[in-house]
Structures are given as C-alpha cells and as structure tokens.
Chain A
C-alpha cells in the first residue's frame, strides 16, 4: 500500500490569499489526483497531476484557480488561489496503487481549509 503525507493538515486563511498544499508519497506512482470534499458532501475530482506535463482538470475547475505541480513521481502540490469562503473544504491527495493491478486508491489525510 502507498503511504501519503499531506501538509498542512489544516489552515485558516484570509480571503484573497493563496495556499499551497503538498502531497508526498512513499513510493513512485504514475497517477496522482486531487479531490475536494466540501463540508458534509462527497468527493469531487479536481484534476489529475501529470508528471512532466500540465495537469488535466475536470469540468468546473481551472488552472488559474487551482494550479498544480508534479515535479517527480512522488510529489505534487495543489495551490488554491485568490481564496473566497466558498473554497472552504477538505482537499485530498490520492494515488492509484496496490498489487497486482494498481487499482486501489489511497488517500492522504486531507487538508482542512477554512477561508475567512
């Protein structure tokens, strides 16, 4: 199984500022993903973080708002830019792993963001 460390675990930010969330995996993984979980709701995929190329964003999410970096196969960052209270959510990093078919998803512990 993959062990995922996410930082920070929580933060309270002022509106209009930006926050960068880090995701570190203990092994090389091909696919890394970023999800958002709004309070009391389900998980929504923001984007796939591609190593060596631009992230692939899902409908409703744009690079200017959620820039993503993936410098190598074990690390990714998600930035939440120009934050507003509506961005208050839990942001989760996820990777595909498991043997033998690499089909299990593992999640980081999440970053609880509150925008005031």
Chain B
C-alpha cells in the first residue's frame, strides 16, 4: 500500500519567515495530494491541494510543489504569522476517493512572534 513520509516532525520559525514541509510517497498511482491544517482540538481542514498533472499551485501565502518523478511534494508558507501555528498533515490518494487517503505523520509548526 501507499506510504507517506513527512519531514520535519517539528518546525519553529520566527514570524515573517518562511516554512517548508516536505513529503514523499511510494505509490506512483497516487494522483491527488492534499495538505491539511489541524489546530488543537479541531478537525483537519484542507488548506491546499495539488493533482499529479500540475507541478505547482499557489494560494496567497501558501504554495505546494510536486515532483512526480521523485515522488515528493512540499508545502511552502511565506510570511508566517502566529496563527499559522498548528499541525500540518500531507496526504496522498488515488482517483476520486479523496476521503481515502494515506497521511503523513504530521509537522508541528510553531511561529514565534
């Protein structure tokens, strides 16, 4: 089955700096790669996603890049703010079953004011 590895497990940055979280996946059939933000005690919320036919996608301060050949994808957050502090999960899935995903272990991001 699919295996998703995520690094780093914890990341601490100063407000205004950039943060980068990286994931690798094992199943070349995976074609949908979402990123979720989970604040303490809350449900995971989709923040950005990318399909395998796209190399990069950006939404304001958040961007995701995908390298299909190397089977890795990354989340980039620029101009970080304290409210960006949360646990971020990457995931991989196939076809239209986005609800059936394999998740990375998560990255705890702390943005220091």
A residues lining the B interface (CB < 8 Å): 31-33, 41-45, 48, 59, 92, 94-96, 98, 101-110
Contacts and interface: CB of A to CB of B under 8 A. Distances in A.
B113 interface: no
Contacts, number: 62
Majority DSSP secondary structure for residues of B touching A: loop
Contacts of B46: 104-106
A103 to B, nearest CB: 4
Contact of A45 (B43, B44, B89, B100): B100
Interface of B: 1, 32, 34, 42-46, 49, 51, 89, 91, 93, 96-106
Contact of B34 (A32, A105, A109): A105
Contacts of A43: 44, 89, 101, 103
A48 B93 CA distance: 14
Given A42-B106, A96-B96, 20 more contacts: A33-B99, A41-B106, A42-B103, A42-B104, A42-B105, A43-B89, A43-B101, A48-B100, A59-B1, A92-B43, A92-B44, A96-B99, A102-B96, A102-B98, A103-B32, A103-B51, A103-B98, A104-B98, A105-B46, A105-B99
A95 B43 contact: no
Nearest to A108: B43
19 contacts: A31-B99, A41-B106, A42-B105, A42-B106, A43-B89, A44-B103, A92-B43, A94-B99, A95-B99, A96-B96, A96-B99, A96-B100, A98-B98, A103-B49, A104-B98, A105-B91, A105-B98, A105-B101, A107-B44
